[in-house]
Amino acid sequence: MTNLYECSDLNFAYKLEKQKVKALQGVDLSVQSGEQLLIIGPSGSGKSTLLNLLGLIEPLQKGEIIFQGQSFSRLSEKERNAIRRFKIGFIFQSFLLFEVLTAAENVEYFLSRQGLSRSERKKRVADALEAVGIGDQAHKRPPEMSGGQRQRVAIARALAKHPAVIIADEPTASLDQKTSRDILDVLKSLRTQGVSVIMSSHDPLAESYASRIVHIMDGQLQSGKGGVL
């Protein structure tokens, strides 16, 4: 295994008028490639903030993230966009799909600026939809799909990039138990294909799907318990 992320002393605060809300305090975290890491903690503990930093969605305030040997604090805008576009697949709790596009078009949309040929794009879209078990739903639009199917489209969209890592922020939070298990199974299956996954949850159900678990509380990581895979 090689080092995917090396995070040291991450601190992050949101500014609310004159107040500062501390969301992360002194977070150190290493992630190896191939891991399926679960970050578990209650609502408001800092999970989204941490994942947003890892996914280059929020800028670093204090501390450092080294991603595949590259320092996030030293990236140009161009390098930052390239990492977002090629290396990191982000999955949001609320799916964030385009309602007017079909499943296949949603997946293809983010490939459009990757410089791939049309046939390579089509192949990646078909393979990604197949990998998440909805190869036969490619023509459907999100309003015609269930929550679980929509989340599968979102996973396929991330997967089609062939990213170094998939970051999933509470991917099952708006799903029922059965559908949550199905989605966690899909994410787990990615691991056998060598895709690294970093996922957050407040649901203990997710624990049995991780190769390693770290707990977060009040913006601080608690020393780790092992995963079960």
Q: What is the contact surface with ligand ADP in residues (CB under 6 A)?
A: 14, 16, 21, 23, 41, 43-49
Name every residue whose Cβ is closer than 8 Å to that of residue 206 and which is 6 or more positions away in sequence. Answer: 38, 40, 172, 184, 199
Question: HSE (CB half, 13 Å, CA atoms) of 27?
Answer: 36
Strand partners, 24: 12
Name the β-bridge partners of 36. 197
Nearer to ligand ADP, 62 or 113 (CB): 62
Cβ distance to ligand ADP smaller for residue 14 or 98: 14
Contact 228/207 with Cβ under 8 angstroms?
Answer: yes
Helix (H) or strand (E) holding 179: helix 177-192
Q: Which helix (H) or strand (E) holds 13?
A: strand 3-16
DSSP H or E run through 167: strand 165-169
CB of 228 to ligand ADP, least distance (A): 22
- Tokens 């040929």 belong to which residue? 117
> Please, which residue, 48 or 137, has the CB nearer to Mg ion?
48
Each residue 39-58 as x (binds Mg ion by CB under 5 A) or -, in order, gives --------xx----------
Closest approach of Mg ion to the CB of residue 169, in Å: 6
Q: What's the closest the beta carbon of residue 157 comes to ligand ADP, in angstroms?
A: 21
Residue 41: name its binding partner from Mg ion, ligand ADP, none (Cβ under 5 to 8 Å by kind): ligand ADP
Nearer to ligand ADP, 39 or 132 (CB): 39
Which parts of this chain interact with Mg ion (CB under 5 A)? 47-48
